[in-house]
């Protein structure tokens, strides 16, 4: 019994505003205390935030409404965090709940008897000094008795009806009443007897009632029954923490009280537990432990909901990934094919790159000339074919003009038609849509159908974007290949070789012409070396000379380009391989990808919340170890 | 003992019960779509199996069982009946896990105990602790007792209210076999929900009940027990044969000398307080019961339960019937949506038809005409060859029309199954819980992938030229027989086919849920359970005659319009054939037996299985009447 606490009971009823709650405990408690309260606030704050952050996913919604309901209860508890603890009796009919209550307060306050059930209306026992309104209970549920008992200075006691005489929980039955009461209690005194301790009904009801409650286990009828606490403990051990069990004889204890004796034996220990461990200083601790336990239980339940639904989401993700790979593969296949087919484009691109690098020189001029002619011819084909893959080969500069028209065509039909020639076919899109919506259904994701698959046109647009993305990658890859090939084929040695060869003919020609022009036709006769000046060379000479120049150039260019082409196949295949391995940023169903990612993140968030709650609970373990409770 | 229970009505009842068991199991299988409650969860079925089948039409014996909540001294009472420590007692709850049975001498030679307790593995009793063994199978330990009347079996049973639920199952099985229940009650438990539920069933089965109030605080409780018993009887409907009080005397209980004081029930209000009296011998009281009467009474009780509208076979059938009606209503609601319309089923280009018709025509020619035609063909091909090559060089190899057609058909197939999936999805969402699981199985992503793969494979394997060939030949043969206009037709072939525009066909087929709705009627009125394909020729432009389809052709219309109609008809035939192919495939690969199953389940009350059960029940009812006569 702790006399000083009575004054604090009297002063506390006004501390009911949540805001003041913290200041008042700050005044009475330590910094550590405030820190703990802040931690609870932080946790519930995060939960509130989590609840508000909605997802278009069935399980997420279900889990959130679970937590939302809990948060309401949490608020109620926070509201009365420091009001006297509510202790309720719980146990089968005939296990002596009322007798125990009477013995505890030392007065016949609740009718006990041999007729089942005896208690049909719950009795709330409070100290005369306490205003019952501060308890946060629905007072219409009880008949209220004010008893000036030392035990009631710190707690309010409820004598509850039994859970086991009612077959179905209909309105007004004992069971319904009990279920209304129990969520409001902080501590349960669970009474049982040799006959009842394994009653299925009680065990089941306890597992409901015990969430967010401290438990005190009492075996009654010590005068008639044998001690079964060991077996009882074993039965409970799997689901509950069972610190100590009391074996009491309420009748004898009541008689003792009446005769003014102080409590004896086990009953004395029970009274001590109730009066010492539930006093003012423990209230917050116990309520906090209850709260955290409740939070954890609900979060575990949410976890179960998520765990059972996550595999379907993962399957959807896998299916999306598979679709994405399939798209990449078919795009890559088509690209490879086109790249291999358009050899002349390659050639032009490579030669351009090389001549750009070499600047002006005889051989490079030859190449330029050749390329220019080629481009002239190719421009016709380009206008006709203009596939995206060809554009990738032609490269950024050359395709600029074409790109401009492409942008203009962005949403027009002709662009969509183009998809049929290169890219993802309508059939492929349809197939993907059929399959994905199957997975979507089982995943319980609630998306408006228009936003994920919807019209084929929308899907086509996504596909076109995908293709654009893919071709952008492809262009960069082609640029690299071009650079590689050019680097390998434009070395100084090779260049010198070709330049020399082309120069050799030119030199020969120049020599030949110069000799004729300066010497044999002019200087030699002037100097008198020869009598007759040779005639200047005529067209008869220049035509074959030019012809041979062309032939020589062609031979050299062909040799050179043949060299360029060598190993191109290998490069293209390498390119295809690297493209196939690359991962597209988006899939055909970007909104679905997004939802899956948020679900994944939400799943993580839930785990984090659960982990934090769990570690919080562990850090609180031992604070209220005098009481039993549900195991994790 | 008299052999009266082996009299005619009971022997007939035995046969009828066997028939009924058979019939309900067949009906239950047939109605599996309706998800009936499993038979072994139905009280009446267990009653049939555990009480009526073993006991009807056999030699009479009486089964008396000690029953009650956990840890209230059932085994103590049983040991008093046994006259020794036959079943272990323990201060801990739910100790007795298995029933122990006392069997009169010679009983096992006359009867097969396994038949009497069909759910239990029998072993001979060796030790009082046998019953405490924790095993998952139901065991029953029996020992012979020379003190019992030759037709009385006495059992100790596991509890009916502990958290060890398997005990309940065992106790329920014993309750059903039993004729007499020795109900052990205490002041703590007489009003417990689990206890009341158990005894309410016993009352419904018209068991004879002896009530023993154990652990009474005498004489204090003398004034309370009538109140307790009054509540108990009111709540459960039991009328006890006799009532005993046993004091809370642990020592006496352990030494098997617990006194059982008999009390008169019902208590008369103004009657004198009942004398404490001499303790009674329970076993002697039990032995002096009127066996025959009780036996007939409990058998009748069980048969009545079987026939009960509230919890017997009729209630089960009512469940089935409701589910079936529900399904039927849903099916009807869904049936208009079970019809799928495909609007743009592609048709092969007319040129292909024309080419095919020409081939057919050629195959009909004979003699020189044929030779000349061949020659022309060769010459024509030769002349055209360079043109063809040049065209190919310029425009690239032309795509084969059939290849193109295949592509288009595949698109149409995809659109169809997509629509089908949407439809099924809608049905799953708006259907009831009988339809939903089946459909959802089909709707899964994995099954969709499989379906598309199968369809693609099968579609690639289709030889379109052969399809075309078969349709054209069939139709041309028919045409050549029906119509003298054949030659005119052939002459106008090019002209006709040029006028005919590509047809927009509307194809309807029913998924076969319930009666195919009015939408498809009258085409499919007679084929409710079948997927029915009907091609409605809806012509895009002009040619009104085409709509008339068959009729126009049949009534020997004249000229080009008739021929156009015929050509449309040809297209229609072809489409019908293709859609039939698809429908068959979809039914085989996707829906399976779903439509038939639903169909059958929605008309379960018209089925033979249903009739058999009803008849069997009526028969049993009339036999029950006879036993009263």
Q: Which residue has the tokens 């054209």?
A: B472
Give the pLDDT band (50/70/90) at residue A420: very low
Domain encompassing residue B137: 57-291
User: Higher confidence at residue A393 or residue B43?
Assistant: B43
Residues B257, B114 share a domain = yes
Name the nearest CA neighbour of B298 among B363, B220, B352, B241: B241
Strands A245-247 and A629-630: unpaired
Q: What is the pLDDT of residue A449?
A: 55
Q: What is the pLDDT of residue A561?
A: 84
d(CA B562, CA B558): 6
Distance from CA of A533 to the nearest CA of B (A): 58
d(CA A507, CA A549): 11
Q: What is the pLDDT of residue A624?
A: 66
Residues B114, B254 share a domain = yes
Q: What is the pLDDT of residue A535?
A: 86
- Is B557 a domain residue? yes
Percent of chain A clearing pLDDT 90 (strictly above): 25
What is the domain class of A86-278 according to CATH?
alpha beta
Number of inter-chain CB pairs under 8 A, A vs B: 134
Q: Which pairs from A7-13 meet CB under 8 Å and 24+ separation?
A: A8/A280, A9/A84, A9/A127, A9/A129, A9/A130, A9/A153, A9/A154, A9/A280, A10/A129, A12/A82, A12/A83, A12/A134, A12/A280, A13/A83, A13/A130, A13/A131, A13/A134
- Is B105 a domain residue? yes
Could you tell me which residues come within 8 angstroms of residue A598 by beta carbon, excluding any fewer than 6 positions away? A55
Can you read off the two tokens belonging to residue B226? 């009538």
H/E element holding B184?
A: strand B180-185
Q: Is the dihedral of CA A490, A496, A497, A500 positive or negative?
A: positive
In chain B, whose CA is at the least distance from the CA of A228?
B92
| Residues 361-420 (A) with a CB less than 8 A from some CB of B | none
Answer for the pair B205, B231: CB distance below 8 angstroms, yes or no.
no
User: Does B337 have pLDDT greater than 80?
Assistant: no
Give the pLDDT band (50/70/90) at residue A442: confident
User: Does A380 have pLDDT greater than 80?
Assistant: no
Q: What is the mean pLDDT of residues A121-137?
A: 87
Residues B274, B355 share a domain = no
Answer yes or no: do A435 and B410 touch at CB < 8 A. no
Distance from CA of B372 to the nearest CA of A (A): 44
Q: Is A246 helix (H, G, I), strand (E, B) or coil?
A: strand
Answer yes or no: do B187 and A116 touch at CB < 8 A. yes
Least confident of A89-93, A293-297, B481-485: B481-485
Name the nearest CA neighbour of B355 among B398, B403, B402: B402
Q: What is the pLDDT of residue B621?
A: 92
Q: Compute the mean pLDDT over every residue in chain A, rounded to the nearest whole number.
A: 81
Least confident of A18-27, A111-120, B12-21, B599-608: A18-27
Angle between helical axes of B559-586 and B350-364 (0-180°, round to 10): 110
Q: What is the pLDDT of residue B50?
A: 92
Q: What is the pLDDT of residue A358?
A: 84
User: Which one of A114, A315, A430 has the shortest CB-CB distance to B187?
Assistant: A114
- Is B535 a domain residue? yes
User: Higher confidence at residue A63 or residue B567?
Assistant: A63
Q: Which of B158, B169, B192 has the most A C-beta neighbours within 10 Å, making it the best mutation to test the interface with A? A: B192
User: Could you tell me if the ipTM is greater than 0.85?
Assistant: no
d(CA B287, CA B297): 17
Q: What is the pLDDT of residue B7?
A: 66
Neighbouring C-alpha atoms within 13 Å toward the C-beta of A490:
19
User: Does A386 have pLDDT greater than 80?
Assistant: no
Answer yes or no: do A435 and B193 touch at CB < 8 A. no
**pLDDT tens-digit series, residues B241-289:** 999 999 998 889 888 999 999 988 887 766 556 666 788 889 899 988 8
Residues B236, B87 share a domain = yes
Residues B582, B464 share a domain = yes
Q: What is the pLDDT of residue A215?
A: 93
- Is B193 a domain residue? yes
Answer yes or no: do B93 and A164 touch at CB < 8 A. no
Least confident of A31-35, A48-52, A243-247, A353-357: A31-35
**pLDDT tens-digit series, residues B351-379:** 888 888 888 877 776 667 677 777 777 88
Distance from CA of A238 to the nearest CA of B (A): 13
Answer yes or no: do A436 and B443 touch at CB < 8 A. no
Compute CA distances A39 → A287, A296, A309, A606, whole Å: 14, 15, 31, 17
Highest mean pLDDT pick, B235-239, B268-272, B414-418: B235-239
User: Which one of A93, A198, A200 has the shortest CB-CB distance to B191?
Assistant: A93
Neighbouring C-alpha atoms within 13 Å toward the C-beta of A159:
28
User: Does A310 have pLDDT greater than 80?
Assistant: yes
Q: What is the pLDDT of residue A395?
A: 57
Residues B207, B133 share a domain = yes
| Bridge partners of residue A192, in order along the sequence | A219
User: Which one of B164, B190, B411 has the shortest CB-CB distance to A116?
Assistant: B190
What is the radius of gyration, based on Cα positions, of chain A? 46
Q: What is the pLDDT of residue B47?
A: 92
Q: What is the pLDDT of residue A8?
A: 37
Q: Which of A119, A165, A203, A247 has the most B C-beta neighbours within 10 Å, making it the best mutation to test the interface with B? A: A165
Give the pLDDT band (50/70/90) at residue A10: very low
User: Does A421 have pLDDT greater than 70?
Assistant: no
Name the nearest CA neighbour of A153 among A130, A185, A122, A187: A130
- Is B606 a domain residue? no
**pLDDT tens-digit series, residues A517-567:** 888 888 888 888 888 888 888 888 899 999 998 999 889 888 888 888 777
DSSP letters of A406-468? HHHTTTSHHHHHHHHHSS--HHHHHHHHHHHHHHHHHHTB---HHHHT--HHHHHHHHHHHHH
User: Does A629 have pLDDT greater than 80?
Assistant: yes
User: Does A19 have pLDDT greater than 50?
Assistant: no
Q: Where are the domains of chain A?
A: 86-278, 311-605
Answer for the pair B327, B34: CB distance below 8 angstroms, yes or no.
yes
- Is B601 a domain residue? no
User: Which one of A167, A193, A427 has the shortest CB-CB distance to B193?
Assistant: A167
User: Higher confidence at residue A275 or residue B538?
Assistant: A275
- Alpha helices in A182-227, H assignment, sequence order: 200-209
User: Does B72 have pLDDT greater than 80?
Assistant: yes
Q: What is the pLDDT of residue A15?
A: 38
Residues B410, B539 share a domain = yes
User: Which one of B94, B231, B417 has the shortest CB-CB distance to A198?
Assistant: B94
Q: Is B59 helix (H, G, I), strand (E, B) or coil?
A: coil
Residues B219, B273 share a domain = yes
From the CB of residue B143, how many other CB atoms can be counted at a distance below 10 Å?
15
User: Does B405 have pLDDT greater than 90?
Assistant: no
Least confident of A274-278, B346-350, B611-615: B346-350
- Expressed in angstroms, the distance from the first to the final Cα of chain A is 33
User: Does B215 have pLDDT greater than 50?
Assistant: yes
Q: What is the pLDDT of residue A298?
A: 92
Residues B457, B570 share a domain = yes
Residues B243, B134 share a domain = yes
Residues B230, B354 share a domain = no
User: Does A383 have pLDDT greater than 80?
Assistant: no
Neighbouring C-alpha atoms within 13 Å toward the C-beta of B563:
20
Answer for the pair B373, B358: CB distance below 8 angstroms, yes or no.
no
Q: Say how many domains are in chain B.
A: 2
Distance from CA of A133 to the nearest CA of B (A): 35
Q: Which of B72, B92, B426 has the most A C-beta neighbours within 10 Å, making it the best mutation to test the interface with A? A: B92
Q: Is the dihedral of CA A159, A165, A166, A172 positive or negative?
A: negative
From the CB of residue B63, how many other CB atoms can be counted at a distance below 10 Å?
25
Residues B461, B350 share a domain = yes
H/E element holding B545?
A: helix B544-548
User: Higher confidence at residue B171 or residue A490?
Assistant: B171
Count the helix, strand and coil residues of chain B and give each as a percent rounded to the nearest 5.
Answer: 60, 10, 30
Could you tell me which residues come within 8 angstroms of residue B24 by beta carbon, excluding any fewer than 6 positions away? B39, B45, B313, B316, B613
User: Which one of B191, B197, B445 has the shortest CB-CB distance to A439?
Assistant: B445
Can you read off the two tokens belonging to residue B501? 């525009």
Q: What is the pLDDT of residue B444?
A: 86
Q: What is the pLDDT of residue A391?
A: 60
Residues of A in contact with B94 (CB under 8 A): 198
H/E element holding B424?
A: helix B401-430
Q: What is the mean pLDDT of residues A342-368?
A: 82
| Bridge partners of residue A326, in order along the sequence | none
- Is B20 a domain residue? no
Compute CA distances B389 → A384, B351, B352, B394, B397, whole Å: 20, 21, 21, 9, 9
CATH number of the domain where residue B121 is located:
3.40.50.300
Compute CA distances B466 → B197, B249, B413, whole Å: 72, 96, 19
Answer for the pair A265, A247: CB distance below 8 angstroms, yes or no.
no
Residues of B in contact with A164 (CB under 8 A): 192-194
A299, burial (CB in 10 Å: exposed 0-12, middle 13-18, buried 19+): buried
**pLDDT tens-digit series, residues B306-322:** 999 988 999 999 999 99
d(CA A354, CA A234): 87
């Amino acid at each position: 019994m702790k006399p000083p606490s009575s004054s604090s009971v009297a002063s506390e009823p006004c501390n009911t505003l949540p805001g003041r709650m913290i200041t008042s405990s700050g005044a009475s408690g330590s910094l550590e205390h405030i820190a703990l309260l802040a931690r609870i606030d932080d946790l519930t704050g995060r939960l509130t935030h989590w609840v508000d952050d909605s997802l278009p996913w069935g399980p997420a919604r279900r889990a959130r409404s679970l937590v939302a309901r809990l948060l309401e209860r949490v608020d109620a508890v926070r509201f009365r965090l420091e009001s006297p603890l509510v202790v309720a009796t719980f146990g089968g009919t005939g296990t002596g709940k009322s007798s125990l209550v009477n013995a505890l307060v030392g007065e016949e306050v609740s009718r006990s008897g041999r007729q089942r059930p005896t208690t049909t209306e719950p009795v709330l026992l409070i100290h005369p000094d306490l205003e019952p309104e501060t308890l946060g209970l629905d007072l219409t549920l009880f008949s209220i008795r004010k008893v000036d008992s030392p035990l009631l200075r710190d707690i309010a006691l409820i004598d509850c009806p039994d859970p086991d005489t009612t077959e179905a929980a209909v309105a007004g039955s004992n069971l319904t009443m009990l279920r209304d009461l129990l969520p409001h209690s902080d501590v349960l005194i669970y009474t049982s007897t040799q006959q009842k301790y394994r009653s299925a009904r009680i065990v089941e009801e306890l597992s409901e009632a015990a969430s967010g409650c401290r438990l005190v286990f009492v075996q009654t009828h010590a005068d008639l029954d044998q001690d079964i606490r060991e077996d009882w403990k074993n039965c409970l051990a799997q689901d509950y923490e069972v610190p100590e069990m009391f074996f009491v004889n309420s009748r004898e204890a009541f008689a003792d009280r009446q005769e003014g004796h102080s409590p004896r034996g086990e009953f004395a220990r029970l009274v001590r537990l109730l009066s010492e461990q539930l006093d003012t200083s423990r209230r917050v601790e116990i309520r906090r432990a209850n709260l955290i336990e409740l939070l954890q239980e609900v979060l575990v339940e949410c976890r179960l909901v998520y765990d059972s639904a996550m595999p379907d989401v993962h399957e959807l993700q896998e299916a999306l990934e598979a679709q994405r790979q399939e798209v990449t593969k078919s795009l890559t296949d088509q690209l490879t094919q086109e790249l291999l087919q358009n050899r002349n484009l390659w050639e032009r691109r490579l030669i351009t790159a090389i001549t750009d690098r070499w600047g002006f020189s005889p051989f490079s001029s030859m190449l330029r000339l050749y390329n220019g002619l080629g481009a002239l011819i190719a421009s016709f084909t380009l206008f006709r074919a203009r596939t995206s893959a060809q554009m990738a080969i032609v490269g950024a500069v050359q395709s600029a003009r074409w790109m401009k028209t492409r942008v203009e065509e962005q949403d027009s039909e002709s662009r969509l038609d183009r998809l049929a020639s290169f890219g993802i076919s309508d059939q492929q899109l349809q197939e993907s849509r059929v399959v994905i919506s199957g997975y979507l259904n089982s995943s319980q994701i609630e998306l408006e159908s228009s936003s994920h698959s919807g019209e084929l046109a929308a899907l086509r647009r996504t596909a076109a974007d995908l293709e654009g993305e893919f071709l952008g990658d492809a262009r960069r890859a082609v640029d690299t290949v071009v650079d590689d090939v050019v680097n390998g084929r434009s070395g100084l040695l090779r260049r010198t070789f070709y330049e020399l060869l082309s120069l050799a003919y030119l030199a020969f020609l120049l020599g030949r012409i110069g000799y004729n022009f300066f010497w044999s036709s002019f200087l030699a006769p002037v100097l008198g070396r020869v009598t007759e000046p040779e005639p200047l060379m005529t067209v008869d000479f220049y035509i074959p000379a030019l012809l041979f120049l062309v032939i020589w150039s062609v031979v050299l260019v062909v040799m050179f380009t043949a060299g360029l082409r060598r190993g191109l196949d290998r490069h293209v295949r390498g390119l295809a391989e690297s493209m196939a391995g690359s991962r597209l940023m988006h899939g055909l169903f970007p909104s679905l990808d997004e939802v899956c990612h948020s679900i994944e993140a939400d799943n993580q968030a839930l785990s984090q919340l659960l982990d934090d709650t769990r570690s919080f609970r562990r850090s609180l373990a031992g604070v209220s170890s005098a009481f039993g409770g549900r195991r994790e | 003992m008299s052999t009266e229970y082996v009299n005619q009505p009971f022997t007939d009842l035995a046969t009828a019960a066997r028939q009924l068991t058979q019939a309900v199991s067949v009906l239950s299988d047939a109605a599996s779509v309706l998800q009936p409650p499993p038979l072994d969860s139905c009280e009446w079925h267990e009653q049939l199996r555990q009480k009526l089948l073993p006991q009807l039409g056999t030699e009479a014996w009486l089964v008396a069982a000690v029953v009650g909540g956990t840890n209230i001294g059932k085994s103590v009472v049983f040991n008093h009946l046994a006259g020794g420590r036959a079943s272990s007692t323990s201060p801990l709850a739910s100790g007795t896990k298995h029933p122990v049975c006392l069997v009169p001498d010679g009983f096992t030679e006359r009867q097969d105990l396994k038949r009497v307790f069909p759910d239990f593995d029998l072993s001979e009793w060796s030790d009082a602790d046998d019953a405490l063994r924790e095993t998952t199978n139901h065991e029953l330990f029996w020992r012979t007792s020379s003190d019992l009347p030759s037709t009385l079996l006495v059992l100790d049973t596991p509890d009916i209210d502990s958290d060890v639920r398997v005990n309940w199952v065992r106790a329920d099985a014993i309750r059903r076999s039993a004729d007499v229940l020795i109900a052990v009650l205490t002041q703590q438990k007489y009003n417990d929900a689990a206890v009341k539920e158990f005894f309410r069933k016993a009352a419904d089965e018209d068991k004879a009940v002896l009530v023993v109030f154990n652990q009474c605080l005498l004489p204090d409780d003398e004034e309370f027990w009538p109140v307790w018993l009054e509540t108990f009887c009111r709540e459960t409907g039991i009328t006890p044969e006799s009532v005993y009080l046993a004091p809370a005397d642990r020592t006496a209980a352990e030494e098997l000398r617990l006194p059982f004081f008999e009390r008169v029930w019902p208590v008369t209000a103004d009657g004198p307080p009942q004398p404490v009296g001499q303790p009674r011998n329970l076993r002697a009281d039990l032995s002096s019961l009127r066996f025959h009467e009780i036996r007939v009474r409990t058998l009748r009780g069980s048969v009545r339960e079987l026939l009960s509208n509230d919890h017997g076979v009729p209630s089960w059938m009512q469940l089935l019937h409701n589910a079936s009606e529900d399904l039927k209503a849903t099916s009807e609601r869904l049936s208009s949506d079970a019809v799928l319309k495909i609007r743009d089923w592609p048709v092969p280009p007319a040129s292909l038809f024309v080419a095919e018709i020409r081939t057919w025509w050629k195959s009909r020619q004979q003699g020189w005409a044929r030779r000349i035609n061949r020659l022309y063909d060769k010459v024509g091909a030769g002349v055209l060859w360079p043109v063809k090559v040049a065209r190919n060089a310029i425009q690239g190899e032309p795509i084969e029309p059939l290849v193109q057609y295949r592509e288009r058909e595949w698109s149409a197939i995809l659109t169809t199954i997509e629509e089908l999936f949407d439809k099924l999805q809608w049905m799953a969402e708006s259907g009831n819980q009988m339809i939903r699981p089946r459909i959802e199985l089909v709707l899964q992503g994995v099954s969709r992938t499989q379906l598309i793969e199968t369809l693609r494979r099968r579609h690639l394997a289709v030889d379109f030229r052969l399809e075309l060939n078969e349709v054209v030949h069939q139709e041309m043969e028919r045409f050549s027989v029906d119509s003298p206009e054949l030659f005119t037709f052939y002459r106008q072939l090019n002209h006709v086919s040029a006028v005919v525009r590509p047809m927009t066909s509307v194809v309807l087929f029913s998924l076969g849920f319930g009666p195919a709705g009015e939408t498809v009627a009258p085409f499919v009125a007679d084929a409710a359970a079948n997927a029915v394909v009907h091609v409605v020729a809806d012509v895009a432009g002009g040619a009104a005659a085409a709509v008339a389809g068959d009729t126009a052709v049949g009534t020997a219309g004249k000229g080009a319009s008739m021929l156009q109609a015929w050509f449309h008809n040809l297209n229609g035939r072809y489409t019908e054939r293709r859609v039939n192919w698809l429908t068959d495939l979809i039914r085989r690969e996707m829906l399976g037996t779903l439509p038939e199953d639903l169909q059958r389940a929605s008309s379960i009350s018209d089925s033979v299985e249903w009739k058999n059960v009803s008849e069997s029940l009526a028969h049993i009812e009339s036999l029950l009447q006879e036993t009263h006569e």
